[in-house]
Amino acid sequence: MKKGLILTLVLLVGVLSLFSQTLTVWSSEKQVDFMKRIGQEFTRDTGINVDVQMVTFGDIKSKFLTAAQAGEGPDIIVGAHDWVGELALNGLLEPIPKSAIELDKFAPSGIQAFTYEGKLYGLPYAIEAVGLFYNRDYVSDEEVPTSIDELKALAKEFTTDETVGFSVTANDFYHVYGFFSGYGAYVFGYNPQTGYDITDLGLNNEGAIKAGYLLKSFFDEGIMPQGMNYNIMDSMFMDGLAAMIINGPWAVKAYLDAGIDFGVVPLTSIEVEPGKSMKPFVGVQGLMINSRSENKAFAMEFIINYLATAEGIYQFYIADPRLPARNDVSQIIEEQGGPVPADIVAAFTESAAGGEPMPNIPAMQSVWQPMNDALNNIINGTQTPEDALNDAVSKIKVAL
Amino acid sequence: MNKFTTFLIWIFIGVLNALLVWAILLLFILANYGLGVVISIFLVLTDWAIFSKKAYPYRYTLPALFFLFILTIYPIYYTIDTSFTNYGTGHLFTRTNAIDTLLTDPTYYFEPEDPKTYDFKVFVRYDEQYKPTEDFLLLLYDDKNMYLSEKPVTLEYDSRGNLIYAESELFPVENDEVNINDTTYTLIRPTESLGTNGSDSIIAIEKDGGIRYAYFYSPVDPLTSTNSAFYNSVLRQNYLKSLNLVLGDQNFRLSSSTIFKKFSEAYRVYDTSVKVIVDGEREIYKTVVVNTLTNKELVERDSAFWDYNENGELYRLIGYKDYIGGENFAKIITDPRISGPFFKIFGWTFAYAGLSVLLTFVVGLAFALVLNDVNLKGKVVYRTLLIIPWAIPAFISVLVWRNGFFNETYGIINRFILGNIGIEPVKWLNDPFWAKVAILITNTWLGFPYMMTINLGALQSIPGELYEAAVIDGATRWKQFRQITLPLLMVAVAPLLVMSFAFNFNNFTLIYLLTGGGPAMAGTNTPAGSTDILISYVYKLAFEGSQGQDFGFASAISMIIFAIIAVFSYFNFRFSGSFEEVSR
């Protein structure tokens, strides 16, 4: 009886599949249009339809987790490398054989970011790290700070009731990691052979505490007002009311569109102490395949031969100007140009090259909330940096 | 009733039956037997209610019962069931699913160092309309050899009807001829190229009955690319994707390392075997998974399969969902992360829910009394204005409160109101006390229009004569309010206050959007915040605190919250019942 039923269903699926063989891609807004275009090429070559759906970036992972375990969900997702650990642990990502791709063409940091427990779980298309944006109305190219002391001195000149000299999303660990790494703090100890050691936490060491005091001093010295957050910072820079901010390449297009005359300094060229420069978190964006998909073979062909090619990644770059994850794309950018001035691209490239990859292990999940809480307490003066960071580390340890 | 209406009713009954039968079939195929059985019973009952005179009254209660089951009882059952499992990150699938994956997923196929690969061509039979059919032959070839395979014979499907394994045997072609199970296949070449031996010039293959399979597709031949749609969406998807070709003791699959353009040697790494465990007198049969390369049995630990790597260390392959008994409940007590700040949060949850009800009620009642005054002009305007906070979605107004009002530097309250009267700025969202105040202010703003509305309704029902009598007796306004208005009002409103309490007890949205539970409690080793209520604390623990999602644990806490609310509501209803004596 059951066999009969299954057979009927199989026949049904067989008949339906004649008409509805479709690859589904979940992507955030910016990439949708050109991916549809590339999808049409794929359809022409293989007869498989490609349906690119827009899902808000912040929702992709959680929606994917729910849908994929029910055997539904898209065949391909466009997302960040720090999702890899959690998704791979759940068995929801399909490994991509390294032999199938032109490994030497991709930026090594991109490949490393998508490698989890020795397997490659996605193809990188863009690499990003935050940098220091400066508005040329306030700061000229010659005045650009090269150390924290210079930055502070410069910022104080421009901080008034209406404007702000320097701003960073200080209660968000991602944005301020550069200060921490600059002083020698780290999240998890890393060994190239054995990977991350989650028992070795470097977030309450001497360097981390110095970074905590530095962040607090921005508020104590009146450079940044209390209650500053990303949205306020972003809109102030866009309105020309902020002289310098720390933000990522995703914001560039909006600032260009707003007509702000700005430049970008790589964080890595700013020293926290003589000889010690900031190293921001490096994030990698890439394409991942749903291991529960019925079409994963097609999905693999699509991303390897159509999206993660030099031409494809150039298209990603046009749509969303972050640093391309393939070395051969820079040549295309030189020949055909791109939406972002070359000096800004170069600054972010340098920032990313000198940064530290964000750990892609699931344990990273436990770091964000305690660290953000600690940063909040430091900024408000509720706790001393020592206490706040020790608390955060013990919270992380307990969570692991 | 005219014929047309009868006809429509019959159509409706037919469609309803068809839909339910379809749903039941689907549920059984998806192995969701519980729900399938329930809907079957419902189908029988519905038809009985429709066709039997005796069951007439049930026609109207059955739909309600159906939705009660689907929307309430089933989720409760599911939550209870989940609370005893480790369902969550790393444990999403059943054990059978996990084993299926280990056996059939291409990820767990092993390719030798230097695999033998073959190019291939597909030959397809056409039907009378010259359309390709799913009857096909596969020709594998390299420089020297050619092998022919018929359409696969062994096919295995998973519970959703997806092909997960197919098998077929390869037979060597000699002198353009091959004999498979008493059937002879002959390779056809154009006459002028007779005698050549390569695979390039083959245009068709003929079966001994004269049936012709025409050369259809090859991934390396651009001339056949027009056929790629049928090849990809039908042949490859339905057969080749999971096809295992057997040649002696060699196995070949479409390989991802050649981006599916060739068949390449590949072997299953894992296989199942059945182990007998002797448990006292009884023998238990257990399916275990064996690594065929090392001949070692996989270790099952913490509801996951583990294999040994080259260094003899265990590594995790895949986890599965398993029943773990009361572990999730035990964790609440034994895990210091949870039990630590639990009582603080527990206390605040009650205070928050209670104060929210009290404040909204008091403010709502005050406005209701004013609006109820007969002397007030322009009531409609005032009432409309006062209901606005209720009409704006909380998602929007809470964010306005958070960013527009309570921001320490840029918020209206600190910048313009307190700043102008010379008061130090208040750390609205960053001081534990003021954050609580901020939450209560916002919640009062959001909740008073509701209280005002129900109070207005209740005030209308109090007979005017009571007040006239009171005035004659010389009662003051305050006394009237105390002795007449409030007691009579409570009869109608008290149950709603209990509901409001229960709602606020679980008002995750407000907390999450306004403070996110923050500011963090200092000196704890969990992500607890000073304004976290139970549900938001649980959300952090189950979904943000550890290494992913923990549905089992979240279900366990949900049950505890449910129990608290149930007990509280029970006593509250008894308590609110005491008001009813006033109206007797």
Element containing residue B282 per DSSP (H, E)? strand B282-291
Nearest C-alpha neighbor of B408 from the set B511, B515, B513: B515
What residue numbers bound the domain in which A339 lies?
9-128+282-357
Query: Is residue A89 located within the same domain as residue A157?
Result: no
Q: Which residues of B touch A204 (CB under 8 A)?
A: none
Nearest C-alpha neighbor of B259 from the set B319, B219, B300, B309: B219
Query: Is residue B220 located within the same domain as residue B348?
Result: no
B416 lies in a domain?
yes
Query: Is residue A151 located within the same domain as residue A275?
Result: yes
Give pLDDT tens digits for B186-233.
888 877 655 556 677 788 888 887 888 989 998 888 888 888 888 888
What does the block give as tokens for B338?
A: 């949870």
pLDDT surpasses 90 at B156: no
DSSP string, A363-392: GGHHHHHHHHHHHHHHHHTSS-HHHHHHHH
pLDDT surpasses 50 at A19: no
Query: Is residue B160 located within the same domain as residue B222?
Result: yes
Asked if B225 has any chain A CB less than 8 Å from its own CB, the reply is yes
Query: Is residue B166 located within the same domain as residue B35?
Result: no
Give pLDDT tens digits for B111-126.
888 888 899 999 999 8
B291 lies in a domain?
no
Place of tokens 């005796």: B54
ipTM (interface pTM): 0.76
Query: Is residue A14 located within the same domain as residue A70?
Result: yes
Count H helices and E strands in chain B, helices first.
Answer: 21, 20
DSSP string, B35-61: HHHHHHHHHHHHHHHHH-STTTTHHHH
Nearest C-alpha neighbor of B251 from the set B271, B278, B233: B271
Do the Cβ atoms of B213 and B125 come closer than 8 Å? yes
The highest-confidence range among A152-156, A293-297, B63-67, by mean pLDDT, is A152-156
Alpha helices in B515-550 (DSSP H): 534-539
Q: Inter-chain contact A89–B548, Cβ cutoff 8 Å?
A: yes
Output the pLDDT for position B560. Answer: 85
Q: Inter-chain contact B522–A387, Cβ cutoff 8 Å?
A: yes
pLDDT surpasses 60 at A292: yes
Nearest C-alpha neighbor of B538 from the set B354, B357, B395, B349: B349
Q: What is the mean pLDDT of residues B54-73?
A: 84
Give pLDDT tens digits for A356-377.
889 988 888 888 888 998 998 8
**How far is it, in rounded angstroms, from Cα A234 to Cα A246?**
10
CATH of residue A381's domain is 3.40.190.10
Q: Which residues of A touch B526 (CB under 8 A)?
A: 395, 398-399
**How far is it, in rounded angstroms, from Cα B234 to Cα B241?**
10
Q: Inter-chain contact A365–B336, Cβ cutoff 8 Å?
A: no
**pLDDT class of B545 with cuts at 50, 70, 90:** low
CATH of residue B427's domain is 1.10.3720.10
Query: Is residue B530 located within the same domain as residue B431?
Result: yes
Do the Cβ atoms of B382 and B371 come closer than 8 Å? yes
Give the CA distances from residue B422 to residues B375, B417, B419, in Å, rounded to whole numbers and listed in that order: 40, 9, 5
Output the pLDDT for position A241. Answer: 92
Query: Is residue B72 located within the same domain as residue B131?
Result: no
Give pLDDT tens digits for B271-327.
888 888 887 788 888 888 888 888 888 888 888 888 888 888 888 888 888 898 888
Alpha helices in B194-288 (DSSP H): 228-230, 237-238
Q: Select from B43, B64, B82 the last residue of a domain.
A: B82
User: Which of residues 12 through 71 in chain B touch A, CB cutoff 8 A?
Assistant: 25, 28-29
Give pLDDT tens digits for B314-334.
888 888 888 988 888 888 788
Output the pLDDT for position B66. Answer: 84
**How far is it, in rounded angstroms, from Cα A214 to Cα B327?**
44
Do the Cβ atoms of B467 and B477 come closer than 8 Å? no
Place of tokens 């007198």: B281
Query: Is residue A222 located within the same domain as residue A269?
Result: yes
Q: Inter-chain contact A231–B431, Cβ cutoff 8 Å?
A: no
Query: Is residue A157 located within the same domain as residue A274?
Result: yes
How many structural domains compose chain A?
Answer: 2
Buried b (16+ CB within 10 A) or exposed e, A182-218: bbbbbbbeeeeeebbebeebbbbbebbbbbbebbbeb
**How far is it, in rounded angstroms, from Cα B68 to Cα B23?**
18
**How far is it, in rounded angstroms, from Cα B448 to Cα B387?**
9
DSSP secondary structure code for residue B413 in this structure = I
Contacts of A51 (CB under 8 A, 6+ apart): A22, A23, A24, A25, A39
Peptide bond into A341 cis (omega under 30): no
Lay out the sheet containing B304-308: strands in order across: B299-301, B304-308, B314-319
Output the pLDDT for position A53. Answer: 93
Do the Cβ atoms of B433 and B515 come closer than 8 Å? no
pLDDT surpasses 60 at A11: no
Q: Give bridge partners of residue A287 from the DSSP assignment.
A: A78, A123
Asked if B546 has any chain A CB less than 8 Å from its own CB, the reply is yes
What residue numbers bound the domain in which B254 lies?
111-264
User: What size, in residues, is chain B?
Assistant: 584
Buried b (16+ CB within 10 A) or exposed e, B289-305: bbbeeeeeebebeebbb
Give pLDDT tens digits for A150-207.
999 999 988 888 889 999 999 899 999 999 999 999 999 888 777 788 889 999 999 9
What does the block give as tokens for A308?
A: 């993660």
Query: Is residue B401 located within the same domain as residue B535?
Result: yes
Between the two ends of chain B, the Cα-to-Cα distance in Å is: 48
Query: Is residue B253 located within the same domain as residue B353?
Result: no
Query: Is residue B204 located within the same domain as residue B141?
Result: yes
Do the Cβ atoms of B406 and B513 come closer than 8 Å? no
Chain A and chain B share a number of CB contacts under 8 A equal to 174
**pLDDT class of A133 with cuts at 50, 70, 90:** very high
Nearest C-alpha neighbor of B137 from the set B107, B108, B116, B168: B168
Q: Inter-chain contact B157–A228, Cβ cutoff 8 Å?
A: no
Q: Which residues of B touch A304 (CB under 8 A)?
A: 259
Contacts of B580 (CB under 8 A, 6+ apart): B491
Query: Is residue A141 located within the same domain as residue A238?
Result: yes
Query: Is residue B29 located within the same domain as residue B145?
Result: no
Q: In chain A, whose CA is at the least distance from the CA of B431?
A: A382
Query: Is residue B243 located within the same domain as residue B376?
Result: no
**How far is it, in rounded angstroms, from Cα A345 to Cα A357?**
19
**How far is it, in rounded angstroms, from Cα B429 to Cα B495?**
33
B277 lies in a domain?
no
Q: Inter-chain contact B318–A91, Cβ cutoff 8 Å?
A: yes
Over its C-alpha atoms, chain B yields an Rg (Å, rounded) of 36
**pLDDT class of B576 with cuts at 50, 70, 90:** low
How do beta strands B163-172 and A131-135 pair? unpaired
**How far is it, in rounded angstroms, from Cα A99 to Cα A218?**
50
Query: Is residue A239 located within the same domain as residue A366?
Result: yes
Query: Is residue A119 located within the same domain as residue A261?
Result: no
A20 lies in a domain?
yes
Query: Is residue A147 located within the same domain as residue A201?
Result: yes
**How far is it, in rounded angstroms, from Cα A375 to Cα B520?**
10
B100 lies in a domain?
no
Smallest CA–CA distance, residue A228 to chain B, in Å, is 8
B386 lies in a domain?
yes
Torsional class of A109: left (φ above 0), alpha (ψ -120 to 50), beta (otherwise) = alpha
How many structural domains compose chain B?
Answer: 3
A324 lies in a domain?
yes
B366 lies in a domain?
yes
Q: Give bridge partners of residue B117 from the DSSP assignment.
A: B264
B143 lies in a domain?
yes
Do the Cβ atoms of B149 and B140 come closer than 8 Å? yes
Asked if B526 has any chain A CB less than 8 Å from its own CB, the reply is yes
Give pLDDT tens digits for B364-421.
999 999 998 888 888 889 888 888 888 888 888 898 998 888 888 888 888 888 878 8
Asked if B408 has any chain A CB less than 8 Å from its own CB, the reply is yes
Element containing residue A263 per DSSP (H, E)? strand A262-266
Which of A10, A305, A398 lies closest to B157 in CB terms?
Answer: A10
Q: What is the mean pLDDT of residues B553-565?
A: 85
Q: What is the mean pLDDT of residues B503-511?
A: 89
Query: Is residue A91 located within the same domain as residue A187?
Result: no
Query: Is residue A109 located within the same domain as residue A188?
Result: no
Query: Is residue A260 located within the same domain as residue A211?
Result: yes
Query: Is residue B74 located within the same domain as residue B121?
Result: no
Ramachandran angles phi, psi of A97, nearest 5°: -65, 130
Q: Give bridge partners of residue B165 from the DSSP assignment.
A: B156
Q: Select from A342, A357, A372 the last residue of a domain.
A: A357
Q: Inter-chain contact A391–B232, Cβ cutoff 8 Å?
A: no
Ramachandran angles phi, psi of A133, nearest 5°: -85, 135
**How far is it, in rounded angstroms, from Cα B560 to Cα B564?**
6
Query: Is residue B120 located within the same domain as residue B51?
Result: no
Nearest C-alpha neighbor of B349 from the set B573, B574, B564: B564
Q: Select from B264, B288, B312 the last residue of a domain.
A: B264
A3 lies in a domain?
no
Q: Select from B239, B264, B289 the last residue of a domain.
A: B264
Output the pLDDT for position A98. Answer: 87
Neighbours of B54 (CB within 10 A): 8
What does the block give as tokens for B318?
A: 């895949």
Q: Inter-chain contact B547–A13, Cβ cutoff 8 Å?
A: no
B349 lies in a domain?
yes
Give pLDDT tens digits for A206-218.
999 999 999 999 9
